[in-house]
Structure 1
């Protein structure tokens, strides 16, 4: 079978374009209207259609956590959800947590604790840690480790990541106590 089918006149037969849907996503506090195929993952919408490349594509199977973003304050693997399913939700990526001039406490703690080596997993680690803090379930180092276990780091910066998250958690707890 030929790679590019042709008609009897020799003209190339073009396959119809896949159907698209117009959706509006609220990302990092801004409304974004996109025309996407219904099977487009949130990860691909962020990276390929909005140029928000801080969110990384790792395994594309939800096993590494590199694509972690926050949806309504809760962490999700953006490779495992369709963009159309997130219409109406408040989506936060690493780009929405802080700015170059005003880093979020977690971003600053990751720098202070040298909690990255290659940096590939760092955006997902930080978003996951922010979700962990939002959930309010972690109180100990063991709980942080368990609740962050879905985010993998090939460089092995786990000790420094734990120290960074623990520092921000302890700081939040001190603020709550008064």
Structure 2
């Protein structure tokens, strides 16, 4: 007697594209993806780096690079110290992107704030990087470097707006 072989059922996945400004953003977002979006969660997340430049360049490159790709949701994570213009934001929105600004200033500012450390208005992004990077458990472009300093419990308890929005997206929750 032959067994009938059934094809495995595949759950319908929701797809999410998250584009950060550079390699640091991609590494940290990937770290958060590993914590909040495990396999079988029903959400397929692609994390990309916009390779730096101005917010306008990152928006243009993202729109061009992922135009033909079918994603249910698209997010751009950009530095708040040099935010996109109103026209650039509108163009991103028309192309289906939500914009989350790393605050204060940049990714490192958001992460220092999550650690409970003050980020002063006069501090430039480079100064914030110099404060954070030596404390990471590896190179700042590697997702594992963020694991010790930013465990799930800390990321669940932070009230940093950018980290909250990113966490909600990775948990497949609607934007507030």
TM-score range, shorter chain: under 0.3
Identify which of structures 1 and 2 has the higher relative contact order when contacts are C-alpha pairs closer than 8 Å and 6+ apart: 2
